[in-house]
């Protein structure tokens, strides 16, 4: 399976992408909930049985599961993006931070 490349985004781009992913996920949740509740109550009075279960249960529960799985696949393919969450520093910056930390500890120990 081919892995997506990791994008390097600015903090603002990361924030926008995360909001886009949150909104799309929330829309999927609303669709699944509407399906489940709508067909659960809408088909309640019908006495048809499928595989030993009432029609309302089969359509609302099994249908909600199928919609959830298909929806997640669609979100992963078209909405979600693979990017680094943390701030990346180059090695020189990291060594400067290490040197400052080490020298600070030495001063603290000498006092």
pLDDT band of 107, cuts 50, 70, 90: very low
For the cut 90, the answer to whether the pLDDT of residue 20 exceeds it is yes
More confident: 84 or 100 = 84
Higher-confidence residue of 44 and 106: namely 44
Rounded distance between C-alpha atoms, residue 17 and residue 11, angstroms? 10
For the chain, what are the domain ranges?
A: 11-110
Does this model's pTM top 0.85? My answer is no
CA distances from 34 to 24, 29, 60, 79, 107 (A): 15, 8, 10, 21, 64
pLDDT digits (tens, 9 = 90+) for 29-54: 999 999 999 999 999 989 999 989 99
The H-or-E segment that residue 49 falls in is strand 49-50
């Amino acid at each position: 399976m081919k892995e997506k490349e990791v994008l390097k985004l600015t903090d603002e781009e990361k924030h926008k992408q995360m909001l886009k992913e949150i909104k799309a996920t929330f829309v999927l949740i609303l669709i699944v909930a509407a399906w489940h509740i709508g067909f659960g109550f809408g088909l309640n009075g019908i006495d048809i049985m499928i595989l030993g279960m009432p029609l309302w249960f089969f359509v609302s529960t099994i249908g909600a599961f199928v919609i959830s799985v298909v929806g997640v696949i669609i979100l992963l393919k078209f909405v979600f993006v693979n990017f680094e969450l943390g701030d990346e520093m180059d090695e020189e910056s990291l060594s400067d931070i290490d040197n400052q930390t080490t020298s600070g500890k030495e001063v603290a120990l000498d006092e």
